[in-house]
Amino acid sequence: MNTNMRSCIGSRQWRPMLGSGLTFIAALRLALPAFAQTSVTIESVKPNKILYLFNEQATANITLKNGGTSEQKGRLAVREAWDLTESREIMSAPVTLQPQETKTVKAEWNTGSIMYGRSLTAAFVQGSKVVAVKSEFYQVADPKEWFRCFMINGGGKETSEASKTNPFATYHNYDNHFCYALSAFSNLAPQEDEWVSGQARYYIRKKELLANIQARRELGVRSGGYTIGATGGPAGYEFARQHPDWMLRDKKGAFLTYAGPVSPTDVAKKTNEHLQGWYALVPDLGNPEVVRFAGEEVVRAFEMFDWDAMFFDGLYGVHLEGNTALGAFTWDGKPVTREEGTDKLSAQCVGAVRDIIRASCPNVALWYNGSTPRAPLLEARIVSLQDTNVGTLHEIQGAQMANKNFYGHHWRSLYEIYMNERNALLKAKGIDDPVLASGYTYNLDPRNMMTKEEYEASRDTWTTANHLGALMLTARIHPCVLASDGFRPTTQFMTRYSALLWARDVKWVKEPWKIINVESNREVWWEEGVYTREGRGRRDTILNIINSPDGEAFDLKVAKDPDPAKNVEVEFTTTADPRKVRIWALQPYGYGSKAKEPTAVELKPERDAKQLIVELPPFTYYTMVVLREETGGKTR
C-alpha cells in the first residue's frame, strides 16, 4: 500500500504551493489553516517588467485590501523564488490597513545574475499566520542570451487588449514586427516618416512604432524586426532598378519573382499607398556585394529601431524558393541551379550576413524560419545556428493544424513533428542548444472559425490550447501562440519554470524507460519528454507527462476537458541514497482554478530498495515531475 501517499491526501502536504519558492511556502503552509478567516486580501502583485536583464533594479507594486470593518495590522513579507527550491527575502515591512482601505506597497530589489524564471510572492502575515498570499511571475536573462527566455502569446478574448499594457495577462515578452518594412530585404530602415509595408499592407508611422517599441521595453517586452530574402512593394522594385546586377532573372531576362507576377500599376505607387500584392523580387545572394548589403541593411535596421532581435523568414541563401519554372539566372545570364554548390554558397551567405550583424550588434537575437538542421541545405542551416542568442522557428499555423490533410493535423503527429524538430537540433553537430520556437497557431481568430455558440462552448478553445501547450512544454518549444486565453496557463508555467525547460544544462534522456516507468490507467505520453540536469552535488530528472487528448485530431471546437489522469504512478530507480530523493509534481493552473498560478507539490514516495514509487496528483493536461537525487557529484 502506498501508505505515505494516502496519509498525505487531504492533509496540508497536498495543498498546492502556488508557484513559489518551496522553502518559503513550506513555512507558509504551517500557517495556512488560518487562511480563510481574514478580511485582508492581496489584490495584485505587479512587477514592473515581464523580462529583466541581469542586475536590473526591479520594482513591484503590491496592493492589499482590507475588506473588513476593523483595522488590520500585520507584516508584508515579499520573497523572490527561482528554479525549484531557491528563494530570498525581498522585503518585510509592517502594514496597517484601515477598514475598507486599499494600499499599494512598493518592493524594490536588484534582479542579480541568475537566469530564467522567478516568482515574486507577497504574503500578509499576522502573528505567525499567513492570512493572504499572491504571486506573480517573470524571467531574468543574461543580455547575451535573453532569447532563451522569449515567448509570444497574443492572448484571447479576455486578454488580448489587456496584454498591451499588462504583459502578465499573457506572459508575452517579445513583439515581432512582421513585414514592417517598405521592402523586407532592401528597405529595413526607411527614411520615410510613414509608409505601407511592401509585403503585408500595414500602415506604419515611424514615430508611433518607435514609441511603441520604447513603451513595451519599459514593460520588459522586447521587440524584433523582420526580413526575408525577397524585396517588396515599390521600394523593393526601385531597389532592383538601382541594382539590376544584384537581382536574379528569369529566362526572358525579367526580374525573377518570388510570389507571382508584378503589377506595374502597383509598383508605380508611392510608398504610402496600399498595394494589391507582394511583389517579391529575388536578390542574387551568390553575389558577395549583395551579401554584404544584406548584412549592412539589417544593421541599419537595428540602429534605427533599436530592435532586440531580427527574424529571418527563411535563410538568406542561394536556394531558389518560389517560381523557378522560367529558370533562374544571374543578371549576366549564368544559370543558378538548385543543387550544385547551393548548400555551401548558402552557408557562406548565412555566415557572412551573421558576421556583419554580430560585429555591430553582439547581443541581439537572430532567429530563422525553418533552419532546423536537415537536408537539403544542411550546412547552411547548421551555420545559422552556430551562434549565441539564436533560434529556429518551426512554423505551423493554426489554420494548418485545423486542416485534415495537414501532416500535423493529428495530435500524435503534431507531437512527433515537435519531437523531430527537437531531435534534429540535438543530433546536429557544432551547435549548442539553440532556441526552438513554433507557431503561429490560431493565426485566424477562432471566433471567426466557428459559430458563436461553438466558440462559447469551447471556452475560447481552452482544451485545444492546453493540449498544444502540453506538447510545447514537453518539446522545450518557445511558443509563438495567438488568439486564445487557453494558452495562458502554459506561458505562465513556462515563465515561472523556464530554468527546468529551457536552460542549457537541461539534457534530453534517451531511452528513459531504463530507469523510469510511468504507469497510468489513462494513456499518457512521457517517454520522449524526460530530461536531466546535474550540478551542485545533485541530479534532477525532469519528466514531462502529457494527458492524451480524447480525440485523435486537432479540433478547436472541443468543449470539455479530457478526463484527468488519476492514480498515475512514477517508478524510479535511483543510484543515490533513496531516503534522500525528493520528488515534486508541478502543474499549470486549470480552467476554473481559483488561484490562477502554477502549483508545486512535494510528494512522498514508497520505497522498495533502490526503487521509488510515487503517485501523482491528478492532472488534466500536463504535469512536470522532478526527481532530485543527492549524488555527491557522481554521474549515473
Grid coordinates representing 355 are: 558576421
> What's the rounded Cα separation, in Å, for the pair 372 and 385?
8
397 forms part of the interface with other proteins (CB under 8 A): no
352 sits in which H/E element? helix 342-360
Going through 197-280 in order, the beta strands assigned E by DSSP cover 203-205, 222-227
> Whose Cβ is closer to other proteins: residue 36's or residue 609's?
609
Q: Which of 23, 413, 443, 573 binds other proteins (CB under 8 A)?
A: 413
Q: How many CB atoms lie within 10 A of CB 265?
A: 9
Contact region with other proteins (CB under 8 A), list: 30-38, 235-243, 280-288, 545-553: 545-553
Contact region with other proteins (CB under 8 A), list: 213-221, 361-369, 403-411, 576-584: 403-411
Q: Which of 438, 548, 587, 599 binds other proteins (CB under 8 A)?
A: 548
Binding-site size for other proteins (CB under 8 A) equals 35
> Whose Cβ is closer to other proteins: residue 303's or residue 563's?
563
Q: Least distance to other proteins from the beta carbon of 416, Å?
A: 4
161 forms part of the interface with other proteins (CB under 8 A): no
409 forms part of the interface with other proteins (CB under 8 A): yes
Q: Least distance to other proteins from the beta carbon of 386, Å?
A: 17
> What's the rounded Cα separation, in Å, for the pair 19 and 493?
8
User: Residues 98 to 117: which contact other proteins by CB under 8 A?
Assistant: none
Q: Which of 103, 157, 358, 412 binds other proteins (CB under 8 A)?
A: 412
Contact region with other proteins (CB under 8 A), list: 23-31, 233-241, 410-418, 483-491: 410-418
| Whether the Cβ atoms of residue 74 and residue 124 lie closer than 8 Å to each other | yes
Contact region with other proteins (CB under 8 A), list: 76-84, 87-95, 393-401, 412-420: 412-420
> Whose Cβ is closer to other proteins: residue 409's or residue 557's?
409
340 forms part of the interface with other proteins (CB under 8 A): no
Q: Which of 550, 559, 593, 607 binds other proteins (CB under 8 A)?
A: 550
- Spatial neighbors of 400 by CB under 8 A, at least 6 apart, are 406, 408
Q: Which of 33, 244, 362, 376 binds other proteins (CB under 8 A)?
A: 376
> Whose Cβ is closer to other proteins: residue 505's or residue 519's?
519
> What's the rounded Cα separation, in Å, for the pair 618 and 21?
22
> What's the rounded Cα separation, in Å, for the pair 538 and 84?
13
User: Residues 507 to 536: which contact other proteins by CB under 8 A?
Assistant: 513, 519-523, 527
The alpha helices in 219-260, defined as continuous H runs, are 233-242
417 forms part of the interface with other proteins (CB under 8 A): yes
> Whose Cβ is closer to other proteins: residue 272's or residue 369's?
369
> What's the rounded Cα separation, in Å, for the pair 376 and 604?
50
Q: From residue 507, how far is each of 396, 460, 545, 625 by CA, in Å?
A: 25, 35, 16, 15
- Nearest Cα neighbor of 376 from 422, 427, 340, 412 is 340
Q: In this structure, which amino acid lies at residue 212?
A: N
Q: Which of 154, 224, 549, 605 binds other proteins (CB under 8 A)?
A: 549
| Whether the Cβ atoms of residue 272 and residue 202 lie closer than 8 Å to each other | no
Binding mask 567-586 toward other proteins (x if CB under 8 A, else -) reads x-x-----------------
Q: Least distance to other proteins from the beta carbon of 565, Å?
A: 11
563 forms part of the interface with other proteins (CB under 8 A): yes
User: What separation, in Å, do the N-terminal and C-terminal C-alpha atoms of the chain show?
Assistant: 29
> What's the rounded Cα separation, in Å, for the pair 467 and 415?
10
Q: Is 504 helix (H, G, I), strand (E, B) or coil?
A: coil
Q: Least distance to other proteins from the beta carbon of 424, Å?
A: 6
Grid coordinates representing 609 are: 530498495
> Whose Cβ is closer to other proteins: residue 330's or residue 520's?
520
552 forms part of the interface with other proteins (CB under 8 A): yes
User: Residues 420 to 449: which contact other proteins by CB under 8 A?
Assistant: 420, 424
Contact region with other proteins (CB under 8 A), list: 202-210, 394-402, 547-555, 616-624: 547-555
Going through 188-337 in order, the beta strands assigned E by DSSP cover 194-196, 203-205, 222-227, 309-312
Q: From residue 7, how far is each of 18, 567, 614 by CA, in Å?
A: 21, 15, 13
> What's the rounded Cα separation, in Å, for the pair 421 and 247?
33
Going through 207-362 in order, the beta strands assigned E by DSSP cover 222-227, 309-312
410 forms part of the interface with other proteins (CB under 8 A): yes
- The footprint of other proteins (CB under 8 A) covers 1, 374-376, 378, 405-413, 416-417, 420, 424, 513, 519-523, 527, 548-553, 562-563, 567, 569
